[in-house]
């Protein structure tokens, strides 16, 4: 089982240091520290385990070190920054493992950009040697790239000529969309194995600065201090220690305090129930800081984040995720209000951003989402986003026979209108009603109201509203039907339908790149017996099928 929990004391591949407002993340990958046997992580090449540590370090910088306004990322190896994803690891991995690995590394790099855009924290990549493939893609996620000017160090994206695949973590998109490299320059750069160095790398906007080796560390620290001085970070704030999650895993269940997962392997279903708070949440920043990890939005983000990663990487055959909620709508609405009213506080801002990233992780997960709104449900505000995440939703109309529970309702809060945008930059409601601006006005008028099934259908919040007589059969048939379709076709269909509206760097990465990976990673030119990925390092020439398809 892949576990995403770690701690700096357990790191094998990274070293995290802080000095006032500047942090340094140093990469020194342990060659024999791979997540699985069968490959060595030479030259700072990485596997999923390396990125799990990086993700953990980034989370700790957000919550445990609020004073940090700039982060320098570099390597402890001589003349090597990072050689990218480990080729032996990729060549022996199952297809789903490769794609999920790339997706997680994408999300981690996107989260660094989220820091830069929203949390006043900047990242500097001190490229002290060669940065190849995923190593250069890591640099591309940062705000400023400094390349050592030693006459030999290069940056490169050699996947096409070397491996017959594509850069797996957004490199192509970031080169042209983020760094604005000219198309002809980018075309040459992405087809030359040895990469580009020095003045040409600078002139082509592949890096931001060239620095002699003797001055590299000093220049990086000066740049970091400049960035940190411009950042709106609280110099004297006390951080929030990220202690381990309480989590119980068995063959047919996963349980946290707020999130439980019941597994139906026969039908390929994971039934996920998310619970609202059981007490009123603090309404001021002082109370939120005192509550810390027990503040419900923070606890929810951590547990839901870990749960979806667990399902992605450890339960690939559970293709349908059924989402339910339980709780008190007033308490969830109160938690939402606390987030919105204290948005200028550093911790509240970080928690809101964490929730946003977690909900995005659901959006880009290649599973079918079916949401069920039943009696006792609590689809309010933040939890209503789980309804809007769904590919299809059902809401019970009226009451079940013999039940003394109130009929199912949903409730909108201000949290549904902006704090948690999707990868397209729009809220889920904006995405849902792209050409219906008047519908959004109607929905804003309903904020705070308990909306029953008939009204929810009229407002466009749910797909179907069966009554008690039809509920069980309609839900069962929908889930069974989903399981009868090709998982490959569903992945492509869902990714195409989920990201309507503006195209952004993120939608390109998760829409186009996921499709490309699902195709190219299975082509014989890459992974066949005579494919480039299989023959890498053997000295043999790949034998390509020359037909363009």
pLDDT, tens digit, 9 for 90 and up, residues 238-279: 999 999 999 999 999 999 999 999 999 999 999 999 999 999
pLDDT tens, residue by residue, 490-520: 988 998 898 899 999 999 888 777 777 778 8
**pTM, 2 dp:** 0.96
Please state the separation of Cα 168 from the chain's center in Å.
Answer: 14
How many other C-beta atoms can be found within 10 angstroms of the C-beta atom of residue 467?
14
High-pLDDT (> 70) share of the chain, %: 100
**Can you give the length of the chain in residues?**
549
Query: pLDDT at residue 340 above 90?
Result: yes
Q: What's the rounded mean pLDDT across residues 225-244? A: 93
DSSP string covering 459-511, please? HTS-SB--BHHHHHHHHHHHHHHHHHS-HHHHHHHHHHHHT-S---HHHIIII
Please report, to the nearest 10 degrees, the dihedral formed by the alpha carbons of residues 248, 253, 259, 264 taken in order: 170
How many other C-beta atoms can be found within 10 angstroms of the C-beta atom of residue 380?
29
pLDDT class for 319, splitting at 50, 70, 90?
A: very high
- Determine contact, residues 168/105, Cβ cutoff 8 Å: yes
How is residue 88 written in tokens?
A: 């032996």
State how beta strands 209-211 and 84-85 pair.
unpaired
Question: How does the average pLDDT of the chain come out, rounded?
Answer: 95
Confidence at residue 516, expressed as pLDDT on a 0 to 100 scale: 76
Query: pLDDT at residue 20 above 80?
Result: yes
Backbone φ and ψ for 29, nearest 5 degrees, come out as: -70, 130
Of 211, 72, 34, the closest CA to residue 129 belongs to 211
- Determine contact, residues 409/387, Cβ cutoff 8 Å: no
Cα 347 from Cα 293, distance rounded (Å): 11
User: Residue 537 burial by CB count (10 A; 0-12/13-18/19+): exposed, middle or buried?
Assistant: exposed
List all residues 6 or more positions away from 545 whose beta carbon is below 8 Å from its beta carbon.
524, 525
Confidence at residue 252, expressed as pLDDT on a 0 to 100 scale: 96
Same fold, 8-230 and 248-497: yes
The fourth-level CATH superfamily of domain 248-497 is 2-enoyl-CoA Hydratase; Chain A, domain 1 (3.90.226.10)
Cα 213 from Cα 152, distance rounded (Å): 11
Cα 131 from Cα 147, distance rounded (Å): 9
Looking at per-residue pLDDT, the higher value among 482 and 522 belongs to 482
Q: Which CATH class is domain 8-230?
A: alpha beta
Cα 289 from Cα 281, distance rounded (Å): 11
Q: How many CA atoms lie within 13 Å of 41's alpha carbon, on the beta-carbon side? A: 26
pLDDT class for 195, splitting at 50, 70, 90?
A: very high
- Determine contact, residues 72/27, Cβ cutoff 8 Å: no
Backbone φ and ψ for 285, nearest 5 degrees, come out as: -60, -35
Confidence at residue 549, expressed as pLDDT on a 0 to 100 scale: 79
DSSP string covering 430-450, please? HHHTTT-HHHHHHHHTTTT-E
Looking at per-residue pLDDT, the higher value among 349 and 527 belongs to 349
Q: Where are the alpha helices (DSSP H) in 294-452?
A: 296-314, 329-341, 346-363, 385-388, 428-432, 437-444
Q: Is 113 helix (H, G, I), strand (E, B) or coil?
A: helix
Cα 233 from Cα 226, distance rounded (Å): 13
pLDDT class for 208, splitting at 50, 70, 90?
A: very high
Confidence at residue 287, expressed as pLDDT on a 0 to 100 scale: 98
High-pLDDT (> 90) share of the chain, %: 88
pLDDT tens, residue by residue, 408-461: 999 999 999 999 999 999 999 999 999 898 899 999 999 999 999 999 999 999
User: Residue 357 burial by CB count (10 A; 0-12/13-18/19+): exposed, middle or buried?
Assistant: middle
What are the structural domain ranges in the chain? 8-230, 248-497
How many other C-beta atoms can be found within 10 angstroms of the C-beta atom of residue 545?
12
Indicate the helix (H) or strand (E) that contains 123: strand 122-127
Of 495, 10, 104, the closest CA to residue 310 belongs to 104
User: Residue 228 burial by CB count (10 A; 0-12/13-18/19+): exposed, middle or buried?
Assistant: buried
Of 461, 470, 322, 321, the closest CA to residue 396 belongs to 470
């Amino acid at each position: 089982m892949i576990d995403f929990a770690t701690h700096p004391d357990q790191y094998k591949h990274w070293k995290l240091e802080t000095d006032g407002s500047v942090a340094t993340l140093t990469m020194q990958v342990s060659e024999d520290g791979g997540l699985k046997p069968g490959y060595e992580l030479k030259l700072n090449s990485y596997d999923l385990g390396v990125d799990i540590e990086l993700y953990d370090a980034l989370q700790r910088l957000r919550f445990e070190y609020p004073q940090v306004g700039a982060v320098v990322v570099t390597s402890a190896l001589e003349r090597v920054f990072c050689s990218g994803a480990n080729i032996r690891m990729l060549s022996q991995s199952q297809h789903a493992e490769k794609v999920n690995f790339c997706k997680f590394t994408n999300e981690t790099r996107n989260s660094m950009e989220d820091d830069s855009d929203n949390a006043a924290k900047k990242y500097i990549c001190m490229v002290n040697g060669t940065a190849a493939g995923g190593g250069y893609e890591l640099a591309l996620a940062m705000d400023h790239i400094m390349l050592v000017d030693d006459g030999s160090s290069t940056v490169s994206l050699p996947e096409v000529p070397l491996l017959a695949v594509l850069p797996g973590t957004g490199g192509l998109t970031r080169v042209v969309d983020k760094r604005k490299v000219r198309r002809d320059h980018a075309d040459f750069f992405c087809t030359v194995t040895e990469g580009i160095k020095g003045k040409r790398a600078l002139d082509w906007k592949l890096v931001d600065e060239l620095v002699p080796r003797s001055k590299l560390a000093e220049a990086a620290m000066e740049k970091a201090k400049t960035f940190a001085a411009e950042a709106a970070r609280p110099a004297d704030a006390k951080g929030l220690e990220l202690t381990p999650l309480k989590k119980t895993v068995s063959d047919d269940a996963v349980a946290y305090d707020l999130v439980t997962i019941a597994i139906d392997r026969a039908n390929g279903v994971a039934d996920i129930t998310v619970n609202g708070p059981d007490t009123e949440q603090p309404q001021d920043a002082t109370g939120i800081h005192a509550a810390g990890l027990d503040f419900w939005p923070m606890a929810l983000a951590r547990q839901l984040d870990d749960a979806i990663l667990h399902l992605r990487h450890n339960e690939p055959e559970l293709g349908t995720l059924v989402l339910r909620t339980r709780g008190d709508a007033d308490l969830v609405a109160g938690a939402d209000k606390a987030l919105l009213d204290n948005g200028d506080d550093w911790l509240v801002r970080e928690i809101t951003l964490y929730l946003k990233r977690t909900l995005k992780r659901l959006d880009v997960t290649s599973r079918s989402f079916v949401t069920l709104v039943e009696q006792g449900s609590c689809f309010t505000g933040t939890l209503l986003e789980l309804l809007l995440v769904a590919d299809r939703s059902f809401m019970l109309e009226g009451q079940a026979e013999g039940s003394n529970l109130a009929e199912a309702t949903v409730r909108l809060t201000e949290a549904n209108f902006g704090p948690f945008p999707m990868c397209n930059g729009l809220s889920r409601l904006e995405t849902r009603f792209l050409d219906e601006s008047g519908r959004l006005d109607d929905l804003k008028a309903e904020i705070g109201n308990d909306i029953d099934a008939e009204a929810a259908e009229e407002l466009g919040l749910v797909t179907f509203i069966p009554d008690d007589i039809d509920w069980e059969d309609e839900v069962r048939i929908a889930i069974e039907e989903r399981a009868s379709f090709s998982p490959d076709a569903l992945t492509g269909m869902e990714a195409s339908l989920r990201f309507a509206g503006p195209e952004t760097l993120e939608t390109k990465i998760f829409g186009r790149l996921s499709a490309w990976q699902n195709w190219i990673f299975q082509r014989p030119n890459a992974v066949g017996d005579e494919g480039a990925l299989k023959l890498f390092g053997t000295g043999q020439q790949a034998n390509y099928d020359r037909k363009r398809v």
